[in-house]
Structure 1
Amino acid sequence: MLSCRHLIGRFLVRRQASTQARLASPGIVEIDEADGQRLKYPQVWLRDNCQCTECFHATTRARKSNWERGPLHVGAQRVSYDEQCQQLQVHWQDEHKSVYELQWLRERDFGDAARQKYLDEVYRPPVQLWGKTQFEEVRREFLYQNVLDRDDVLKAWLEALAVQGFALLKDAPDDENVARRLAERIGYIKRTTYGDVFEVKSKPNAGNYAYLMVPLPLHTDMPYYEYKAGINILHTLVQSESAGGANTLVDGFHVAAEMRRLYPQEFEVLRSVPVNWYDIGHDGDQARPFHSLWRAPVVCLDVDGQVVRINQNTTKRDSRFTVPIEQAVAWYEAYDRFLRLAHDEIVEFKTRPGDVFVFNNLRMLHGRTAYEDSPQNKRHLVGAYVDWDIIYSKLRTLRFPQAHE
């Protein structure tokens, strides 16, 4: 917290009218700004967030007070506003005093506009839903080396992944470490039962359906993980020279939104009925065996009722369906509707060697057309995962570097 002496030089009095603070009931402090704006704060919140050195450790940005001796029943005795220092001052009934900068309070306004601004600009960027006809409009491409070298390009790339859900990087080198470098450029790679990086190519005695040359149906990776991989980074080292091997892609959030709009009852079934997703096996002869299992619906919502995760993987849906029989029948009907809508929105494109296709694995349904290897041409991709917690953290450090000073 800056002292008033420092603040005098920063803030200039720009209005003839003055800002006023007052106690309002029940338990509310109101600030009437000179421009007519009114800010309101619960007294308990103000006391809980006192910024003095006794209550707050500025270096670690940590509250020091113990709630057991906390603010719930300690009311404000009087409040005032220092126009020169641009500060709200609160004198509490237990003789404690708190001082809050007006700009700090504005950023934490309880009004609708301020709360939404924080959610959209700091918490997570709003997603842009898209269907088949909008694919070329939302498609973003970046140069691989620029993502590695320039923070502004890294920021734009991560924003594209957060908003549109996918992006394509071009001109990556013929190097099996490309996916790893991109993951480490963001932060930390996600290690799974398939390793920290994984290869997608046809293999004898394949332990995963993706290692066959058959069509790969629309799916999300690892629905059997409670902490499902956030983004999938797929670097094309060798592309099939056959007619197949093309990527298929659908915005799963868009499909869910259409389900909610057109078929609300079936949407509710997909939102509420848990499905058993599983993966049993080992990846390679020397790998440890695994038995992954997670129960979750096809459509998952957050606390605000927004779609935040799609689970869909026909090859990894367990034959055990641990719900009442009448729910199972209704689920199959809703599931069929969801897949029909998804197939109507499929876009198809074929990456080339040096392309890196990156997409939101919580959102995008992806697949692949069938292809044929030859002795001289074996399709080969290298992939890696990164969790969204890590991605959003990196994006915020790029958007708000001053927050870490």
Structure 2
Amino acid sequence: MLVTPRHSSTNEWPVRAIRNEGDRIAVDLDNGSQGRLSTRWLRLACECDVCGDTASGKRWLTPAGVPARVQATALDVSAAEVSVFWDDGHVSRYGSDFLAGHAGGGSGPARFRPQLWSSDLGGKLGRFAFDAVVEEDKALFGSLRALRDHGIAMLTGVPADPEATVRVAGRYGPIRETSYGKVFDLISRPDARVAGETARAQIPHTDEPFRYSPPGFIFFHAIRTGAGSGGTSLMVDGFHVAETMRTSTPELFDLLTRHGVTFQREHAGEVFFSAEAHVISLDASGAVTGIRYNDRCLAPQTAPLDRIDGLIEALAELTRLIRDPQNQFQHQLQPGEVLVFDNQRVMHGRSAFDPTLAVRHLRSCNIDRDGVHSVFRTLARRFAPQEAEAVFYQGAIF
């Protein structure tokens, strides 16, 4: 039986008609296409007061509570809403937009595809004023869009005091405290505890791959940089490098997506971190979702004798691509600038500098990626509703 809206409206609502086909519900859309929904899926998707809702987590209907052969006995369609009467007497109501969005294979929300970059980032890099980001939600949302698209953004005019670092970082989500503290001062010194406190060049890398869950987003707040004495920041889009490997050396790319690599960090008597993970994470569709790599944290690797050389060559090829200037965006940070970047996509390093000419001081803190994405979605509900439910790449998760 075909059911059409009781209140006809040309091109106003996306569902033109709906039809019961037993274990499927056919949906005719206003654009002329047709989709189909699983009847069992539709019953489970009910979010009435009895079934509960996923937004609050007060969800009472479970998959086990929906019979395999549940049937709709009647359909009632208005312009903006579809009512479904079930064989157990329950009545569910769904928005016309909701049904249209899910009809046609259950693909659900669109998957966001990042915009890749190499040494050409300069013309694309989003720059945002500190005052605007901390005071205006629209400016904050603009910077979050830049992080979504390119994995990196720049904030300018940030005061040098520690409170400013915390204030602006906290706009993006709760600051993550680690064994290095909540906010970490990277100051060049002769008795360096970590490589970032030395004056030596740093190959671009992701931070702390030795943790089961590496930092999501990193804030680098420049306090003193010694501009002119070296210490140029080198930023690399790990997704671009991964796709280059997929094209040029697919067998090496494949190794880094399937073979576990071990990373370690130990400060004697204090901490000893060790994690085995894929250097390149993929989602179910094969898209790159995360990068985890720091050459300084590589432990002696384990693999069968006939495979260990291949694994080392895959790591060597990745390192060569990371060090290639054509893949690096180079920028001399100035005091008051903050680089915000996705630590599971964007790799950061720097050139060497002369510590006798200047002291280099950066202040750093971390935000978990789900916190940043939560702020994005919340603001998108206000400023760009069509972007709120897109599925983001979820990082180095394996």
| Normalised-by-shorter TM-score class | 0.7 to 0.9
Q: Is 1:22 aligned to 2:19, yes or no?
A: yes
> Partner amino acid for 2:56?
T
**What secondary structure does 2:110 align onto?**
helix
**What secondary structure does 1:394 align onto?**
helix
Greater C-alpha radius of gyration: 1
Q: Match of 2:278?
A: 297
**What secondary structure does 1:265 align onto?**
helix
2:227/2:334 contact within 8 Å kept? no
Q: Cα distance 1:44–1:207, how it changes in 2: closer, same or farther (>3 A)?
A: same
**What secondary structure does 2:265 align onto?**
strand
1:230/1:388 contact within 8 Å kept? yes
Q: Match of 2:91?
A: 97
**What secondary structure does 1:63 align onto?**
coil
Question: For 1:213-235, what per-residue CA distance to the aligned partner results, in whole angstroms no more than 9, with x for missing partners?
Answer: 11112211011111110111011
Residues 309-324 of structure 1 aligned to structure 2 (within 5 Å) = 309-319=290-300, 321-324=301-304
**What secondary structure does 1:56 align onto?**
coil
Question: For 1:322-373, what per-residue CA distance to the aligned partner results, in whole angstroms no more than 9, with x for missing partners?
Answer: 2222222101112222222222212321011111112111111211111122
1:243/1:371 contact within 8 Å kept? yes
- Equivalent residue in structure 1 for 2:334, among 352, 361, 366: 352
Q: Match of 2:216?
A: 230
> Partner amino acid for 1:130?
W
The offset of 1:54, in angstroms, is 1.9
Identity of aligned residues (%): 27
Q: Cα distance 1:183–1:15, how it changes in 2: closer, same or farther (>3 A)?
A: closer
Q: Match of 1:4?
A: none
Q: Which region of structure 1 is more displaced relative to structure 2, 159-168 or 237-246? A: 237-246
Question: For 1:62-121, what per-residue CA distance to the aligned partner results, in whole angstroms no more than 9, with x for missing partners?
Answer: 4322444x11324214232334x5433323222323232322322333447x73xx234x
The count of aligned residue pairs is: 377
**What secondary structure does 2:176 align onto?**
coil
Question: For 1:298-331, what per-residue CA distance to the aligned partner results, in whole angstroms no more than 9, with x for missing partners?
Answer: 2111233221221221111112x12222222101
Q: Match of 1:73?
A: 68
**What secondary structure does 1:65 align onto?**
coil
- Equivalent residue in structure 1 for 2:184, among 188, 194, 198: 198
> Partner amino acid for 1:339?
T
Q: In structure 1, what is the Cα distance between the partners aligned to 2:260 and 2:48?
A: 48
Q: Match of 1:141?
A: 127
**What secondary structure does 1:372 align onto?**
coil
Q: CA RMSD in A?
A: 2.6
Q: Is 1:157 aligned to 2:143, yes or no?
A: yes
Q: Match of 2:42?
A: 46
2:34/2:104 contact within 8 Å kept? no
The offset of 1:32, in angstroms, is 2.3
Question: For 1:371-400, what per-residue CA distance to the aligned partner results, in whole angstroms no more than 9, with x for missing partners?
Answer: 1224x8411111111111000000000001
> Partner amino acid for 1:243?
S
> Partner amino acid for 2:305?
I
The offset of 1:208, in angstroms, is 0.8
Q: In structure 2, what is the Cα distance between the partners aligned to 1:40 and 1:177?
A: 54
Q: Is 1:211 aligned to 2:211, yes or no?
A: no
Q: Match of 1:391?
A: 372
Q: Match of 1:368?
A: 350
> Partner amino acid for 1:88?
V
Q: In structure 1, what is the Cα distance between the partners aligned to 2:32 and 2:201?
A: 63
Q: In structure 2, what is the Cα distance between the partners aligned to 1:213 and 1:103?
A: 57
Residues 328-339 of structure 1 aligned to structure 2 (within 5 Å) = 328-339=308-319
1:201/1:378 contact within 8 Å kept? yes
Residues 150-299 of structure 1 aligned to structure 2 (within 5 Å) = 150-281=136-267, 289-299=270-280
Q: Which region of structure 1 is more displaced relative to structure 2, 36-45 or 382-391? A: 36-45
**What secondary structure does 1:373 align onto?**
coil
> Partner amino acid for 1:199?
D
1:242/1:373 contact within 8 Å kept? no
Gapped regions of structure 1 (runs ≥ 5): 1-6, 283-287
Q: Cα distance 1:394–1:15, how it changes in 2: closer, same or farther (>3 A)?
A: closer
Q: In structure 2, what is the Cα distance between the partners aligned to 1:71 and 1:383?
A: 50
Q: Match of 1:381?
A: 362
Q: In structure 2, what is the Cα distance between the partners aligned to 1:35 and 1:364?
A: 40
Q: Cα distance 1:167–1:97, how it changes in 2: closer, same or farther (>3 A)?
A: closer
2:37/2:102 contact within 8 Å kept? no
Q: In structure 2, what is the Cα distance between the partners aligned to 1:183 and 1:107?
A: 35
Q: In structure 2, what is the Cα distance between the partners aligned to 1:166 and 1:12?
A: 47
